[in-house]
Structure 1
Amino acid sequence: MDIPDDLSTGERIKLLRESRGMSRPILASLCGRSTDWLKKIETGERELRSHDLLLRLATALQVSDLSILTGGEPEVAQPVPLGRLAHPGLPAIWAAVMNRTLAPPAAAPVDVALLQGRADQTWRLWHTSERNRTEVGALLPDLIRDSEAATRTLDGPDRRAALIALSDIYRLTGQATAYIGPAELAWVVADRALTAAQQADDPAAIAAAAWNLGNILRETSYPEEALRVTTEAADLIRPHLDGAPDDWSGIYGALQLHSAVTCARDGRHGDAWRYWDAGNQIAKSLPAGYVHPSTVFGRANVDFHAVSVATDLHASRKALSLADDIDPDTMPSTERRARLWVEIARGHLQRGDTTAALHVMKLAYDIGAETVTYTPSARTVATDLWRKAPRALRSEAADLAAVVGVTTAS
């Protein structure tokens, strides 16, 4: 894009951020800094002198030359390593997604049931591994290529089943590459997941793909569009729930929780709790112990989301009270348990209790190191802890910031 020569560095950062549909909190967290810090940089209230932070901003904004941010002479190259938060598994995933062959694949026999079984097994790995991005990321390239080939070589009911598997795999790709890949990768995989589900004409697959697309929309500062997508998907699947498999109700409930968080982040108290209650009612209607295989919707996840909703609404007292009644071990997803502790840490920080926040953030990291390292809200908490921790805990806070990848430079 063309950037006027007379813009300051802060104005350039703001222009690039908004052009990418990225919120200020997301960009700040990707750089290991607070939202207030980024606001001061963008408005010129604070000067940006750190070369390391310039590189972090450029990387997060997918700018290939640092002079685009600094306004330096264009002939002086200042290359920037692309990618948001570097991860060794990302190049192979990028290649599998973006280098999709146009030539007809070899007509090798495909066992669709085996393909779906591989997808289901990889989803389980995502929820149970402490290094889920690394381990799942290693499996995704072959899964993407095999499922793409299956949809092009099969026909009839087998092709429909292959399309559902392909949608599942692209949804998982979106989860595994969130915050570590460029924005265009997120949009491509979200669109392909929804397209495959629509081609299969399967309401549950469409609803699950919409849930995934809603995540992308919400995280890129399109809350109204996110809410529209999830509510429309819920309306689509609702008439089919009677007599349908439990997983159809599971994805319907997950859509309700998604809408609850979206409304909570927008400060809409009544709507947030109304959607949460709708999800709660669905959980009550399902068998005890039920867990949706990919969204992990179930009794535990509904309770976990109550903490998230309260925290996003800045009702920290309620959030911590709700958390006191939760047994984290009832949640089979390691990734989701780690995120619960991050939410609890956010609640403690809202109340000014940095000691408790630091304690539970260390628990979160021990449970799911990669979840904490690559989730913006967790990185924001780690940054705030390093800035606000009392002197006696500053060393521990700095250690946490270091392992999460947050710079502690002033």
Structure 2
Amino acid sequence: MPDLPDSLSTGERIRILRESRGLSRPVLAGLCGRGPDWLKKIENGDRELRSHTLLLRLAAALQVTDLSTITGEADEVAQPVPLGRLNHPAMPEIWAAVMRRSFTPPTADALDASALRARIAQTWRLWHTSGRNRTEVGALLPELIREAEHAAVVLDGDARRTALVALSDVYRLTGQATAYVAPPELAWVVADRALTAAQQADAPEAIAASAWNLGNILRETSYPDEALRVVTEAADLVRPHLDSAPDDWRGVYGALQLHAAVTSARDGREGEAWRYWDAGHQTAKSLPASYVHPSTVFGRANVDFHEVSVATDLRASGRALSVADEIDPDVMPSTERRARLWVEVARGHVQRGDYTAALYVMQRAQKIGAETVAYTPAARSTTAEVWRKAPRALRNEATELAGMVGVATP
């Protein structure tokens, strides 16, 4: 490991580490799923590296065990680079349900596809309302996956179409519940099966919702251009039907716009980000004030929450915090989404250097959604940042928070 002076920028550190490992730019960029021009801009300081996911990918590819070796912020707390991924005890059973498909024709048991869809919808509600959503939903998913797979094979006609939509729904939920803890191969299988089932059902709203889910996978694995393509094509699919379609079609259309807004913001495309956000805003205005999409939770409150997220990702912390001041979080029925809002607010305070406020807000986020915070990289990195920079008088509280979130401290 070369000695790196404190004065070096992140880009300079990456270049020195890359050269010390004997890696060319194309090779290192390829290991991160990006092109050499992207890496050149990072190394030269022409582009800021904001993505925590990409930082972790670079660190792993450079065989760096402490992320602060790249960021240069190693004065107080280690930022370990996970050799694998976050773990959750529900994963082995979910893995088995997804990957161990039987080739033996199932028996034609009496199945009610509509009742199965209702159970899956109820599990979506649990995902959005439980503070331990990964644990509680994770315990239900294996049986739901097996039943939905079974129904999609043995039923026919309209019942099979309903079963296929149910299968798509449960795989979308699996993608949400296993985000950041599933191995990459499982994440891709789940996203593909959700979309395939929706296409087999010829259900545009389910196709669009599955595209929203696939876009999440693409964005979090550092393929922003592909994520944007997927969600915009899905929006194009449902747009011609919006005037006469049920509210949920407009709900998923709006969710796709907000997805595109965040994807663009994380890639530094400010104009595009606000254009997509405004499209989501206009969609919400066309829906009843109390409307909330059952799985994406798109609605008026989610549009406001996303304004905070987009502004934070664009490092416009003043706008993010100003908007957050006017939001009533309790109008959002999703506990998971409320916890994520407070994480975004904490990020805004960190950007402004107000670590006391960031600590308070992260404590609030953890109290609302403990598992959302513990299993979300942005929340974990914000917690680590707060621990490093919190005033001395608040160090004990910051340490306690880090312990609850599972962030390693010396």
TM bracket, shorter-chain basis: 0.7 to 0.9
Distance 1:180 1:103 in 2: 30
Secondary structure of 1:105's match? coil
Residue in structure 1 matched with residue 82 of structure 2 by the alignment: 57
1:406 aligns with 2:399: no
**C-alpha distance after superposition, 1:138-192 (max 9, x if no partner):** 0000000000000000111111110000000000000000011111111110000
* Stretches of 4+ aligned residues off by more than 6 angstroms: 6-12, 14-17, 29-33
Mean Cα displacement is larger for which, 276-285 or 15-24? Answer: 15-24
Distance 2:95 2:348 in 1: 36
Residue in structure 1 matched with residue 6 of structure 2 by the alignment: none
Distance 1:30 1:222 in 2: 13
Residue in structure 2 matched with residue 390 of structure 1 by the alignment: 391
Change in Cα spacing, 1:133 to 1:297, as seen in structure 2 (3 Å) is same
Residue in structure 1 matched with residue 129 of structure 2 by the alignment: 128
> Counterpart amino acid of 2:132?
R
1:305-316 superposed matches below 5 A: 305-316=306-317
Cα contact 1:30–1:379 (8 A) shared by 2: no
Cα contact 2:128–2:336 (8 A) shared by 1: yes
Residue in structure 2 matched with residue 26 of structure 1 by the alignment: 53
Cα contact 1:32–1:407 (8 A) shared by 2: no
Deviation, structure 1 residue 57: 2.7
1:229 aligns with 2:230: yes
Cα contact 1:32–1:406 (8 A) shared by 2: no
Residue in structure 2 matched with residue 303 of structure 1 by the alignment: 304
> Counterpart amino acid of 1:58?
L
Secondary structure of 1:124's match? helix
Residue in structure 1 matched with residue 111 of structure 2 by the alignment: 110
Secondary structure of 1:306's match? helix
Q: Structure 2, unaligned stretches of length 5 or more? A: 1-17, 35-48
Secondary structure of 1:87's match? coil
1:177 aligns with 2:204: no
Distance 1:299 1:382 in 2: 28
Distance 1:15 1:181 in 2: 26
Change in Cα spacing, 1:17 to 1:85, as seen in structure 2 (3 Å) is farther
Distance 1:138 1:338 in 2: 22
Secondary structure of 1:178's match? coil
Cα contact 1:32–1:379 (8 A) shared by 2: no
Give me the TM-score of the superposition, normalised by structure 1.
0.85
Residue in structure 2 matched with residue 215 of structure 1 by the alignment: 216
Change in Cα spacing, 1:368 to 1:20, as seen in structure 2 (3 Å) is same
Deviation, structure 1 residue 11: 6.5
Deviation, structure 1 residue 331: 0.2
> Counterpart amino acid of 2:385?
D
Cα contact 1:27–1:57 (8 A) shared by 2: no
Residue in structure 1 matched with residue 278 of structure 2 by the alignment: 277
Cα contact 1:10–1:42 (8 A) shared by 2: no
Change in Cα spacing, 1:187 to 1:269, as seen in structure 2 (3 Å) is same
Change in Cα spacing, 1:94 to 1:194, as seen in structure 2 (3 Å) is same
Change in Cα spacing, 1:29 to 1:331, as seen in structure 2 (3 Å) is farther
Change in Cα spacing, 1:42 to 1:267, as seen in structure 2 (3 Å) is closer
Deviation, structure 1 residue 16: 8.7
> Counterpart amino acid of 2:193?
R
1:375 aligns with 2:387: no
Deviation, structure 1 residue 390: 1.4
Distance 2:159 2:56 in 1: 44
Change in Cα spacing, 1:38 to 1:173, as seen in structure 2 (3 Å) is same
Cα contact 1:30–1:376 (8 A) shared by 2: no
**C-alpha distance after superposition, 1:248-273 (max 9, x if no partner):** 00000000000000111111111111
Percent identity at matched positions?
A: 67
Q: Structure 1, unaligned stretches of length 5 or more? A: 1-5, 60-83
Cα contact 1:358–1:385 (8 A) shared by 2: yes
Cα contact 1:267–1:313 (8 A) shared by 2: yes
Residue in structure 2 matched with residue 246 of structure 1 by the alignment: 247
Secondary structure of 2:294's match? coil
> Counterpart amino acid of 2:82?
L
Residue in structure 2 matched with residue 205 of structure 1 by the alignment: 206
Distance 2:341 2:22 in 1: 34
**C-alpha distance after superposition, 1:207-228 (max 9, x if no partner):** 0000000000001110000000
Deviation, structure 1 residue 398: 1.2
1:150 aligns with 2:170: no
Distance 1:57 1:11 in 2: 21
Secondary structure of 1:58's match? coil
Change in Cα spacing, 1:294 to 1:46, as seen in structure 2 (3 Å) is closer
Cα contact 2:312–2:347 (8 A) shared by 1: yes
**C-alpha distance after superposition, 1:89-127 (max 9, x if no partner):** 110000000111111111101101110001100000000
Q: What's the RMSD between the two structures over aligned residues? A: 3.0
Cα contact 2:28–2:58 (8 A) shared by 1: no
> Counterpart amino acid of 2:251?
G
Deviation, structure 1 residue 19: 3.5
Distance 1:334 1:231 in 2: 28
Residue in structure 1 matched with residue 3 of structure 2 by the alignment: none
Residue in structure 2 matched with residue 80 of structure 1 by the alignment: none
Change in Cα spacing, 1:390 to 1:52, as seen in structure 2 (3 Å) is closer
Secondary structure of 1:279's match? helix
Cα contact 2:67–2:79 (8 A) shared by 1: no
Residue in structure 2 matched with residue 141 of structure 1 by the alignment: 142
Deviation, structure 1 residue 31: 13
Residue in structure 2 matched with residue 3 of structure 1 by the alignment: none
> Counterpart amino acid of 2:213?
N
Residue in structure 2 matched with residue 101 of structure 1 by the alignment: 102
Give me the TM-score of the superposition, normalised by structure 2.
0.85
Mean Cα displacement is larger for which, 278-287 or 98-107? Answer: 98-107
